[in-house]
Amino acid sequence: MNNGIVCIIDALATKGVWSIDEPLVYLSKLKRVHLQLDKIIRHFKTLRSPHKLEYITFSDTIILTLTFKGYPNEAAIPMFVRAIDGVFSTCFAEDLLMRGAISFGKFIKRKNILTGPAIDDAAFWHEKPQMVGCALTPNTTLLYDYGIDSINRDPNQPYNYSQHALKFDVQLKEGRRYNLYTVNWPLSTYKAFIPLGEPGPLLRMKAILGKYPIPAEAYQKHLNTIAFFEYSIHQAKLDKHI
């Protein structure tokens, strides 16, 4: 088995993207998301990383894998999270409300076969968050701090990767909340919205969330997303990221 990181994301809407978009419209949006994914892969190559980043898409689901060459590398978790941040920000800009999970561990990727403990872990958790967002699974949440510490001890690594993840009490389907690291897409989205002027980032975000009819069973997910956005920006201001 390979060691690496897996991310599975899909549409938050209860009936998938087809309930709000014609297939050709969705395809156009997906192509723009793929451009962002290809850009991320090129960026990983410029870092001369020995790890291999790949993705596959089917219907409204995207699976990204980062396969390690050699031993497990926890320092790659924050770097991978930064990449997923870019994907989520692009999806949100395209009115694609996504949720998912990131798992660190072992898996097998052979042509059209994708299986293993990390795949099962990401698959189990990816549909749990009741909001737009991507949570790190429990074991990956515990390893994230180790990865950040490894990066911070590298004098040749000045970039602040910690801004791309945020601890948050994520509400799951069962109603319980788990304190997990979550991809901090609201901060990236906020920074992208600021140059656009009025209305402000929060109102722009609400306009995207409210663009289509919201089923009663999905409304709490939207409220949770707004709460996460507000919490993220509040914490960013405290930490002087903005």
Cα 157 to the chain's mean position, in Å? 23
Where residue 170 falls among pLDDT bands split at 50, 70, 90?
Answer: very high
Q: What pLDDT is stored for residue 13 in this prediction?
A: 59
Where residue 14 falls among pLDDT bands split at 50, 70, 90?
Answer: very low
- Whole-model pTM? 0.92
| CATH level 3 topology of 2-238 | Alpha-Beta Plaits (3.30.70)
* pLDDT (mean) for 146-160: 90
Please answer whether residues 189 and 208 qualify as being in contact, where contact means their C-beta atoms are separated by less than 8 angstroms. no
pLDDT of 51-96, one tens digit each? 889 999 988 899 999 998 877 889 999 999 999 999 998 888 888 8
Percent of the chain surpassing pLDDT 70: 95
Q: Is the pLDDT of residue 101 over 80?
A: yes
CA distance 53 to 49: 10
Q: What pLDDT is stored for residue 110 in this prediction?
A: 87
Q: Is the pLDDT of residue 17 over 60?
A: no
Q: Is the pLDDT of residue 20 over 80?
A: no
**Inter-CA distances, 84 with 16, 42, 120, 150, 210, Å:** 20, 14, 19, 20, 24
CA distance 78 to 117: 20
Q: What pLDDT is stored for residue 15 in this prediction?
A: 54
The whole-chain average pLDDT of the chain stands at 89
